[in-house]
């Protein structure tokens, strides 16, 4: 019997996770649900990932993303590089504390995937998104929340059914701020401390908001940008940050360029979106910062509205 021990990330995600992620097409239009049970099992020094479930709806994407059989694939377990060895997924994932950025290919779905998994501080909730690619073109996106808390599993599908299609729309008439403390990791995956992030929102009209963002601590940066929303898309139009974003339901994915050499790509996920309301009060955020084209830091945490 092997004496190998599971990695820190493997210990974080032990057990069976339950979710009902939504499927969106490339435009951000909601298409359906996928009921999923997934687990990553470490046994006798070998890690195997299992995923079982079925799709409801899907529209024109249904034929591509319905599961013909449960997925299973091997994982070379490591806190440096988790290597997915097939047969159902091939690629790698890099953990940064309680967040992992994975890039891999699924022969059954015939798509390249970029998956971001973020385990929240409660240790029982996971924020998940997979952007699906055909070459450089986006085909669609799966995203949602997972739980492994036995006391919440029964009610989880109903909550995700209501919240899954809710679009990411921040307050349009009420000024305020999302703020919180986030962890910072270097490109070497080592912790670099924490950063306090404040995102102040100053609504200009129903479609435009001025954002004042301040980072202080392990990273220091501040910028202001006018953000214009056009359906599921949004545009940062200066004066300090330029770029755009695509939302898939509750998850907004910005890509920003600053006036210096720095770039940012990220995900801002509404944890407590409520149907009929513009936004929730809690954002789970994950950002990757690039100096030129080189990854420099990964930041993740939870911001709360006040």
* Domain range summary for the chain, segments of one domain joined by +: 8-163, 176-305
d(CA 105, CA 96) in angstroms, rounded, equals 21
Fold adopted by 176-305: Lipocalin (2.40.128)
Domains 8-163 and 176-305 share a fold: yes
Strands (E), 157-240: 176-186, 191-203, 208-217, 221-230, 233-239
Q: pTM score, two decimals?
A: 0.95
pLDDT tens across the length of the chain (306 residues): 344 789 999 999 999 999 999 999 999 999 999 999 999 888 877 889 999 888 999 999 999 998 778 899 999 999 999 999 999 999 999 999 999 999 999 999 999 999 999 999 999 999 999 999 999 999 999 999 999 999 999 999 999 999 999 999 988 889 999 999 999 999 999 999 999 999 999 999 999 999 999 999 999 999 999 999 999 999 999 999 999 999 999 999 999 999 999 999 999 999 986 554 455 789 999 999 999 999 999 999 999 998
Class for the domain spanning 8-163: mainly beta
Distance CA 247, CA 131 (A): 11
Instruction: Please count the CA atoms within 13 angstroms of the CA of 133 that sit on its side-chain side.
Output: 11
């Amino acid at each position: 019997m092997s004496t190998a021990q599971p990695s820190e990330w493997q210990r974080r995600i032990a057990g069976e996770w339950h979710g009902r992620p939504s499927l969106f097409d490339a435009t951000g239009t909601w298409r359906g649900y996928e009921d999923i049970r997934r687990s990553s099992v470490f046994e006798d020094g070998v890690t195997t990932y299992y995923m079982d479930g079925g799709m409801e709806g899907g529209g024109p994407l249904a034929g591509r993303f319905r599961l013909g059989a449960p997925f299973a694939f091997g994982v070379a377990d490591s806190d440096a590089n988790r290597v997915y060895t097939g047969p159902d997924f091939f690629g790698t994932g890099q953990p940064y504390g309680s967040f992992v950025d994975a890039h891999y290919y699924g022969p059954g779905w015939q798509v390249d995937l970029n998956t971001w998994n973020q385990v929240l501080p409660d240790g029982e909730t996971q924020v998940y998104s997979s952007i699906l690619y055909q070459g450089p073109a986006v085909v669609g996106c799966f995203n949602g929340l997972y739980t492994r808390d036995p006391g919440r599993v029964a009610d989880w599908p109903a909550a995700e059914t209501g919240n899954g299609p809710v679009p990411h729309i921040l307050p349009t008439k009420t000024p305020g701020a999302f703020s919180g403390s986030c962890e910072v990791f270097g490109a070497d995956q080592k912790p670099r401390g924490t950063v306090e992030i404040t995102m102040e929102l100053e609504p200009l009209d129903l479609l435009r908001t001025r954002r004042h963002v301040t980072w202080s601590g392990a990273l220091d940066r501040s910028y202001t940008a006018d953000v214009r929303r056009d359906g599921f898309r949004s545009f940062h139009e200066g004066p300090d940050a330029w770029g755009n974003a695509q939302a898939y339901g509750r998850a907004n994915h910005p890509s920003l360029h600053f006036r210096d050499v720095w770039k940012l790509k990220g995900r801002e996920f509404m944890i407590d979106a409520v149907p009929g309301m513009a936004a929730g009060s809690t954002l789970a955020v994950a950002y990757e910062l690039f100096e030129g084209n080189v990854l420099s830091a990964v930041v993740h945490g939870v911001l709360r509205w006040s």
